[in-house]
Structure 1
Amino acid sequence: MTKLLKVLATSALVALVASGCASGPQYKEVASSIPTLKDAQGRIYFYRSGSMFGAALQPGINLNGTPVGKSQPGGFFFVDEPAGQYVVTTATETEKTVSFKLDAGETKYVKTSVGFGILVGRIIPTLESADEAAKNLESLHYTGAPSTSASK
């Protein structure tokens, strides 16, 4: 491959990866405008670090089988749901899940991380502590989420 083709290929790859990262306002810019919870609901934050490793992998995130957003590098979003049992699912070459109970007034944090796969990487959801999530959310960008509720 000629030097020019290598440069063009590298530039295209960098542009592709960069375009996949979250680009909304940072958490600190939107934190004060996040609404308070309604009495019978809990909140679930979904987030992913800004690492470029696996940046092209951006599968949808499902909550009890309903799409609620995407796992985007450097991004976060949240959904408010009634108290109950929930299963978060992501899928690339295999499906990965995490299950939990959400109580009214409670906030849960689901981190999605890239793992190695056979043909394609995997996005793995895990529950994180509020302290760990707080450290991570500060540098992330709000990606929003569909207004549909998974409990409908």
Structure 2
Amino acid sequence: MKRVARMVMAGMAMSLLMAGCASGVKHSEMAASIPAIKPGEGRIYFLRSASMFGAAIQPEIRLNNQVVGDSKPGGFFFVDRPAGKYLASASTETEKTLSFALDGAETKYVRSSPSIGLMVGRVVLELETPTKAKEELSSLSYTGDVMKTSAK
């Protein structure tokens, strides 16, 4: 009986963790419908690998202090912005930031990855190579919000 109870509890815990993972349309299914980048703008993809490690840690992602989405395991979203300098950030117990420049017609890929913190986990932001990002992107689910991604 104890074994059955443990299995039920483990299943429930796994379900709760998986509920926090991204679900929805995969990049591979929507790639053809993603609009072209407007002249003078660039595109920034934010992506996070599907992993159980740190799955409960899903902070907002900010770009120049504006919330553009959330760091969700197995998810991605993108924003189009004018060429310029940007500061991406994610906060839990501490704020982690990433500075970069975006050129017109350029696409940047920002990976968010959970790491161990003092009290709670953290999400670290880093630029990803286009080759590596594109390999993984097709299996990730879109987590974007039209209101957040279209705001400038």
TM over 0.5: yes
- The number of residue pairs the alignment matches comes to 151
Q: Deviations over 1:8-27 (max 9, x none)?
A: 43222111101011111111
Task: Identify the residue that residue 73 of structure 1 maps to in structure 2.
Answer: 73
TM-score with structure 2 setting the length: 0.92
Q: What is the root-mean-square deviation of aligned Cα atoms in Å?
A: 1.6
Q: Output the CA distance in 1 between the equivalents of 2:106 and 2:34.
A: 15
Q: Output the CA distance in 2 between the equivalents of 1:150 and 1:117.
A: 32
TM-score with structure 1 setting the length: 0.92
Contact 1:97/1:125, CA 8 A, preserved across alignment: yes
Task: Identify the residue that residue 132 of structure 1 maps to in structure 2.
Answer: 132
Give the fraction of aligned pairs with identical amino acids, expressed as a percent: 50
**Structure 2 CA distance for partners of 1:149 and 1:52, relative to 1, 3 Å:** closer
Task: Identify the residue that residue 50 of structure 1 maps to in structure 2.
Answer: 50
Contact 1:81/1:149, CA 8 A, preserved across alignment: no
Task: Identify the residue that residue 114 of structure 1 maps to in structure 2.
Answer: 114
Show structure 1 runs of 4+ deviating over 2 A: 2-9, 145-152
Contact 2:49/2:74, CA 8 A, preserved across alignment: yes
Q: Output the CA distance in 1 between the equivalents of 2:132 and 2:103.
A: 20
Runs of 5+ unmatched residues, structure 2: none
Task: Identify the residue that residue 25 of structure 2 maps to in structure 1.
Answer: 25
| 1:113 positional shift | 0.4
Residue 25 of structure 1 aligns to a residue whose secondary structure is coil
Runs of 5+ unmatched residues, structure 1: none
